[in-house]
Structure 1
Amino acid sequence: MLVKKAFTYALLAAITLVPWNATAVNRFSLSNLLPKPDLNLADATAAATSLAESLLVKSLLEISEGNTKQALDTIDQLIQSVPNFKLAYLVRGDLLMAQGKYLQSFGSAGNNPTEAIRDLQDEARARIERHLAKQVKEKQPNLLLAPNDQQKHLIVVDTSKSRLYLYRNESGQLKYVADYYITVGKNGVIKQSEGDKRTPIGVYFARPKLNQPLPDLYGEGAYPLNYPNEWDKEHNRKGSGIWLHGTPSNTYSRPPRASDGCVVLTNQDLKSLEPFLQSGKTPVVIVNDLEWLDNTSDSPETQKKELTAAIDQWLGDWKAQDTERYLSHYSKDFSSDGINFRKWAEHKQRVQAGKPDVEISLSDISMFSYPDTEKKLVVVDFVQDFKSPSLKNRMQKRQYWIQENNSWKIIYEGAA
């Protein structure tokens, strides 16, 4: 009994700071997590993934209650379901070793955990914290997330929690669909240069799945993100090849920080996302330390109304060919493909000197908070229809609006 209790408390102290008790054990009803026969492929895969993660956490909770025999049965059930889940084998090894010796901590049968063991400890912690969190289904991210009607789904990645959240766009309202464990860069986040093994923070768009054969490292497949985007380029961030991709065939999941900068999911999870990614239009907002809406938060809806009013005023002043008022909507730090505010203003003053009659309309407007800045920054995409005596065109356009002195200003503008 002494060996069992010593193992239990050392295990829990090593993998999480969250309190564990019988109430937490009762929170999980595995029968409710079994895939239902009428689920579609994506929902069934998500349910199966949730079941696998729940079995892992259930085994650890059983250990915390001293039920090591039941925990071993549970972990064996998990391994039978997911034969290449390395973390499950580590827990099973600890349970077997606990029958014959004193263990100092989780995964430390050799008394000196290797880097690989520490990686698995981090994965256990991330998965446990997710299962003990309630807000992910009940609350929404504290971000302005306003996809247009063409963007049926939206992805938010929280790098600090090793989690990817999928939302469905229902007439402008985001509805939680599922969430998945993920891996990010070995050296963390805020990518700056080629080969730094960091994951970028920002707003990106997932392109369709790559068709060419890929090494086994990428598993089920890969969906490139448009890194570096306009904001990255303006800040001289280098590198390329940031993808959403799967895991090698002999690996169920990888540690929280193990990629070269990509966002990595299990092959099953990536497969379940395929219907939502293949359009090539899915926004992917990558955040570090995601905050959730509560009663004290500034409402993103308020930001949306303020920014919509600023866009309408900008458009109205452009239509009126009121150059001074039109330029007042641009930040003095404005830059676009090497053109600064002064050059932009000179160009617009020349073009609008004769005050030509113009017809301009915007459609398919989307807005996404950009998390890579201390100031409030929003990416705005739209389709622009422009007609003047000398020009007629239709283009996909992208602007970055930043809040300066409580006013929204355009800091970047260009083709999307």
Structure 2
Amino acid sequence: MNTIKTFLQILLMASIMVPWNVPALDRLDYTGTLSNSSFGPNYPESLVVKGLLQITRGQLQQALNTVDELISIAPNFKLAYLIRGDLLMAKSQQLEGFGNTPQNNSPSVEDFKAEARMRIERYLESHAPQGIPEPLWQIDPTQKYVIVVDADKSRLYLYQNIGGKPTYVADYYVTIGRNGSEKSSEGDKRTPLGVYTASSKLTSKLPDFYGSAAYPLSYPNEWDRQQGKKGHGIWLHGTPSNTYSRPPRASDGCVVISNPDLETLGPILQQGGTPFIIVSQLKWVTQAAPEQPQLQKALDQWRQDWQAQDTDRYLSHYSDRFFSQTSDINGWSREKRRIQSDKKPVSIVLSNISMIRYPNSQIPMAVVSFDQEFKSEFLDSRMRKRQYWIYEGQRWKILYEGAA
């Protein structure tokens, strides 16, 4: 019995951040539903953790039964077969480590270790994340859902917008780029960090490699392009039909999720335009960031100065580093001074405002989106606009502005 624990000790003690000890294990109820699972007792991930915990308690036959149940539900779950192989071998010989069978090569076993570790770490945490992801400053009231990916923990979090408050729904194991995150160039096999949107499902038939569906992400965004970042074709997609899940770092840059989980997300994603934030070192907060009301005030003052046609005050809201699709701050200023020279009365109303702190930025930055209604003597227009605001010189200023 002690020898079968060896692979868990190697798996967890050497690299896991949470100590593998009895108090930690006691936070999970392996006899029934895992106490912190949002998926229920028969969800494949729940069964993986349940089986591993049964092994640590010396319940080898129960663990084998659990793994067999898992395989019956997800017959393409390769990690389950590795655990099953170890359990069967334990009956006839000493085990020295995880995946200790002659046919297993070291790289694939390391991948299985990493996947098991990521899944166990999630279940050593509380039932649901305490607080909300720090980048979610304000959600557009018309936006029903938002997705946040923690690249470090290979985890996708789904939040529902209830009364303007992001409310946790569920989270899922995902795969990111084999070289990690912070994509910057074509072919670097990294997943980008930033604020994106997921478009609706691709309708063209794709190779089996991409699983049951694929949803393109809006990489590169305006800020990515301004920084000279390259690459394209970053999707949220599924797994091949013979694979339930892939290792934590195995994609060419896409975010990869199991087909059953992707199908669960399908009705949400199919509408298109779902905010999709990818973060490194994701933090959780229980109260609003102090910068958010400052940004809200700056946004409203920008609107007032524009409506008042006070061109100098209006332009003072723009950074010297400002850029748009077609201009820099000099060209933007010339055009605005020309347009506002006659001081004709205008009405400007902003609604459905979203504010998302830009993740992992070297300077404080937020992406602000809103519906803009502009009326003047000669023009009546409505549009969805997106701005990037940065904090410089002790105040928020606009770095980018354009149609969303």
User: Would you call these one fold, judging by a TM-score over 0.5?
Assistant: yes
Q: Deviations over 1:221-265 (max 9, x none)?
A: 011111111111111112211111111111101111111111111
Task: Report whether the alignment pairs 1:120 with 2:121.
Answer: no
* Match for residue 381 of structure 2 among 393, 406, 410: 393
Q: Which runs of 4+ in 1 moved over 6 A?
A: none
Q: Deviations over 1:138-157 (max 9, x none)?
A: 32112233221221011110
User: How far apart are residue 65 of structure 1 and its match?
Assistant: 2.3
Q: What's 2:162 paired with?
A: 170
SS of the residue corresponding to residue 230 of structure 2 reads coil
Q: What's 1:20 paired with?
A: 20
User: How far apart are residue 303 of structure 1 and its match?
Assistant: 2.7
* Match for residue 202 of structure 1 among 194, 205, 222: 194
Q: What's 2:242 paired with?
A: 250
Aligned residue pairs total: 402
Q: 1:20, 1:64 within 8 Å by CA — same for their partners in 2?
A: no
Q: What's 1:405 paired with?
A: 393
TM-score by length of 2: 0.93
* Match for residue 317 of structure 2 among 325, 329, 337: 329
SS of the residue corresponding to residue 231 of structure 1 reads helix
Task: Report whether the alignment pairs 1:320 with 2:312.
Answer: no
Q: What's 2:232 paired with?
A: 240
Q: 1:25, 1:61 within 8 Å by CA — same for their partners in 2?
A: no
Q: Deviations over 1:14-33 (max 9, x none)?
A: 56353234441562256446
Query: CA separation of 1:50/1:345 partners in 2, compared to 1, >3 Å: closer, same or farther?
Result: farther
Cα distance in 2 between the residues matched to 1:70 and 1:16? 25
Cα distance in 1 between the residues matched to 2:345 and 2:94? 84
Q: How does 1:258-297 map to 2 (within 5 A)?
A: 258-293=250-285
* Match for residue 344 of structure 2 among 356, 360, 378: 356
Q: Deviations over 1:278-317 (max 9, x none)?
A: 11121111101101115xxxx4353332111111100100
Q: How does 1:40-51 map to 2 (within 5 A)?
A: 47=39, 51=43
User: How far apart are residue 395 of structure 1 and its match?
Assistant: 1.5
Task: Report whether the alignment pairs 1:108 with 2:96.
Answer: no
Query: CA separation of 1:72/1:91 partners in 2, compared to 1, >3 Å: closer, same or farther?
Result: same
Q: What's 2:124 paired with?
A: 132
Q: 2:6, 2:97 within 8 Å by CA — same for their partners in 1?
A: no
Cα distance in 1 between the residues matched to 2:182 and 2:247? 19
TM-score by length of 1: 0.90
Query: CA separation of 1:3/1:381 partners in 2, compared to 1, >3 Å: closer, same or farther?
Result: closer
Q: 2:186, 2:230 within 8 Å by CA — same for their partners in 1?
A: yes
Cα distance in 2 between the residues matched to 1:232 and 1:122? 30
Q: How does 1:137-152 map to 2 (within 5 A)?
A: 137-152=129-144
Q: Deviations over 1:60-89 (max 9, x none)?
A: 112222332322222122112211100111
Cα distance in 1 between the residues matched to 2:156 and 2:41? 13
Q: How does 1:46-57 map to 2 (within 5 A)?
A: 47=39, 51-57=43-49
Q: 2:34, 2:41 within 8 Å by CA — same for their partners in 1?
A: no
Cα distance in 1 between the residues matched to 2:131 and 2:232? 33
Cα distance in 2 between the residues matched to 1:302 and 1:378? 13
* Match for residue 307 of structure 1 among 285, 292, 295: 295
Cα distance in 2 between the residues matched to 1:81 and 1:303? 47
- Of residues 75-84 and 136-145 in structure 1, the stretch that sits farther from structure 2 once superposed is 136-145
Cα distance in 2 between the residues matched to 1:243 and 1:318? 38
The residue identity in structure 2 corresponding to 1:241 is G
Cα distance in 1 between the residues matched to 2:251 and 2:2? 40
SS of the residue corresponding to residue 160 of structure 1 reads coil
SS of the residue corresponding to residue 360 of structure 1 reads strand
Unaligned runs of 5+ in 2: none
Q: What's 2:145 paired with?
A: 153
Query: CA separation of 1:4/1:222 partners in 2, compared to 1, >3 Å: closer, same or farther?
Result: closer
Cα distance in 1 between the residues matched to 2:272 and 2:140? 14
Cα distance in 1 between the residues matched to 2:277 and 2:340? 37
SS of the residue corresponding to residue 331 of structure 1 reads strand
Unaligned runs of 5+ in 1: 35-42
Q: What's 1:179 paired with?
A: 171
Sequence identity, in percent? 52
Query: CA separation of 1:289/1:11 partners in 2, compared to 1, >3 Å: closer, same or farther?
Result: closer
CA RMSD after TM alignment? 2.3
Query: CA separation of 1:67/1:21 partners in 2, compared to 1, >3 Å: closer, same or farther?
Result: farther
- Of residues 354-363 and 326-335 in structure 1, the stretch that sits farther from structure 2 once superposed is 354-363
* Match for residue 67 of structure 2 among 64, 75, 79: 75
SS of the residue corresponding to residue 16 of structure 1 reads coil
User: How far apart are residue 391 of structure 1 and its match?
Assistant: 3.2
User: How far apart are residue 204 of structure 1 and its match?
Assistant: 0.8
Q: Deviations over 1:189-220 (max 9, x none)?
A: 11112222111111111111111111111111
Cα distance in 2 between the residues matched to 1:66 and 1:49? 20
The residue identity in structure 2 corresponding to 1:102 is Q
SS of the residue corresponding to residue 408 of structure 1 reads strand
Cα distance in 2 between the residues matched to 1:212 and 1:33? 39
SS of the residue corresponding to residue 183 of structure 1 reads strand
